[in-house]
Amino acid sequence: MAFPQQKSTLPFWRTQLDPLDTHRSTEKLPSEADIVIIGAGYSGASIVHHLLEKSKASGMSLSIAILEAREACSGATGRNGGHLKPDPYMRAAGALQKYGKEAAEEVASFEARQVKEIKDLVEKENIDCDFVVTRASDVCLYEDANQELKRGLDQLTKAGISTADGVFYSDSRTAEGVSGVKGAKGCFSYPAGHVWPYKLVLHLLSKAVSAGVNLQTNTPVTSVTPVGNGKWNVNTDRGSIKASTVIYASNAYTSSLLPEFKKAIVPVRGICSRIMTPKVDAPFLSNSYILRIAPGEYDYLIPRTDGSIVVGGARRDFFDKLDQWYNVTDDSQLIAPAANYFDNYMQRHFKGWEDSNAYTDKVWTGIMGYSSDGFPHIGEVPGKSGQLICAGFSGHGMPQIYLSAKAIADMVVEGKGVEQVDLPRVYRTSRERLESEGNVTLEGWAKVTRKAVPKL
């Protein structure tokens, strides 16, 4: 079963803990609530934020409880790269081919809008979370990736997909000079942001707790069972809460409570690091980065305002070893073959960093929820009236979650159907998606490693 494990590696983001980290609003669980949210990561915190905003606007008073298995924001959100990087072409190009132009536009613009949404939120609420608006440089170090991205971008431009317009392409003649990355064959840049995710989430949770939301950390939900009259019991070892609405913001761990999602959302372990340099005159990096190094191998990188650099990925050292990362829920261990991957990373890849003495300060792991078709599952759990899901962000939640959570709040507070809310159609959860046999992660792995798609 894929429940969160109690022990975990220490990410840089969780080195300055908020007083709410192990908060319990009441000694005992409330016996009833209108809404129970399972999970206190970016999804759970965004959902409660939008529920409170919407219920306040419509004069409703809702009792809400959040149950979190470990500490607040200790899942993927507390251990990610902090990269709020809307994808303007890859996912949209896939959607264009498979689902057509309208679906592609929805996917691309939904992600793109989230940078502005978070900028507005951070400014309005004066949130101390190191938020920066920048451009992401997507740098291809091998020709096939360069051509594939360019082909996708050209198709989107031709189809009139709005995000294609904001991409600036540098070919092999200028890519190295534009990006500062050694051996760059092509570079695509576009608007993006980065953030201290824990601080953003803890701000939203603090506001919710101040508004009367009952937050219970270190309280794993063990099951959700029907009690009649359309209500559900949310069960834990500390007791049960009866609720008419249950929202799963449990991402990678969803199938432990909803076994029907076993194939649809699979836990995948990722690894990330923080790199420091003692040199104050190390070359300045203003953009954030993706480095596409070889088939199946890519890293992401955000230069922070404190001079440190957060780098994740490291697939070179473990991608072929499925048992190290696929269907793995243990974030108490590093991915062993990649433990030293980040040493000399800046020296290896960035011009002018050779003598920087940059060194690895921290390495940690986290568990993502990869969906079998690459898109998250948002909406009512098929066949379970009153239960909703917001999960399965496939290692790319930062530019998808905030507005997905808003869609969930619209469904709950305004009683709208999933077709009526602002949400890409391919995000809607459905029985058909749950039963689909495809798996883009394993198919991609088989293509790169030239092995058969495994039956797991």
Ligand X SMILES: Cc1cc2nc3c(=O)[nH]c(=O)nc-3n(C[C@H](O)[C@H](O)[C@H](O)COP(=O)(O)OP(=O)(O)OC[C@H]3O[C@@H](n4cnc5c(N)ncnc54)[C@H](O)[C@@H]3O)c2cc1C
Residues engaged in binding ligand X (CB under 6 A): 3-4, 38-44, 67-70, 74-77, 79-83, 220-221, 249-253, 256-257, 270-272, 300, 312, 366, 368, 391, 393, 395-399, 401
**Could you tell me the smallest distance in angstroms from the CB atom of residue 421 to ligand X?**
18
Residue with Cβ nearer ligand X (33 or 40): 40
**Could you tell me the smallest distance in angstroms from the CB atom of residue 93 to ligand X?**
18
Distance CA 46, CA 407 (A): 11
**Could you tell me the smallest distance in angstroms from the CB atom of residue 188 to ligand X?**
17
Rounded to 10 deg, the angle between the 143-159 and 101-125 helix axes is: 100
**Could you tell me the smallest distance in angstroms from the CB atom of residue 399 to ligand X?**
6
Long-range contact pairs involving 256-263 (C-beta distance under 8 Å, separation at least 24)? 256/1, 256/2, 256/3, 257/38, 257/221, 257/223, 257/224, 258/381, 258/389, 260/381, 260/382, 260/434, 261/377, 261/389, 261/391, 261/392, 261/434, 263/372, 263/434, 263/439
Residue with Cβ nearer ligand X (185 or 189): 189
**Could you tell me the smallest distance in angstroms from the CB atom of residue 102 to ligand X?**
24
Residue with Cβ nearer ligand X (179 or 256): 256
Distance CA 130, CA 158 (A): 37
Contact 32, 242 (CB under 8 A): yes
Residue with Cβ nearer ligand X (4 or 152): 4
Residue with Cβ nearer ligand X (185 or 372): 372
Residue with Cβ nearer ligand X (145 or 265): 265
**Burial of 294 by CB count in 10 Å (0-12 exposed, 13-18 middle, 19+ buried)?**
middle
What secondary structure letter does DSSP report for 283? P
**Could you tell me the smallest distance in angstroms from the CB atom of residue 68 to ligand X?**
5
Residue with Cβ nearer ligand X (150 or 242): 242
Distance CA 391, CA 43 (A): 8
Distance CA 10, CA 77 (A): 13
How is residue 182 written in tokens? 């050694």
Which residue carries 């978070």 as its tokens?
A: 118
**Could you tell me the smallest distance in angstroms from the CB atom of residue 97 to ligand X?**
23
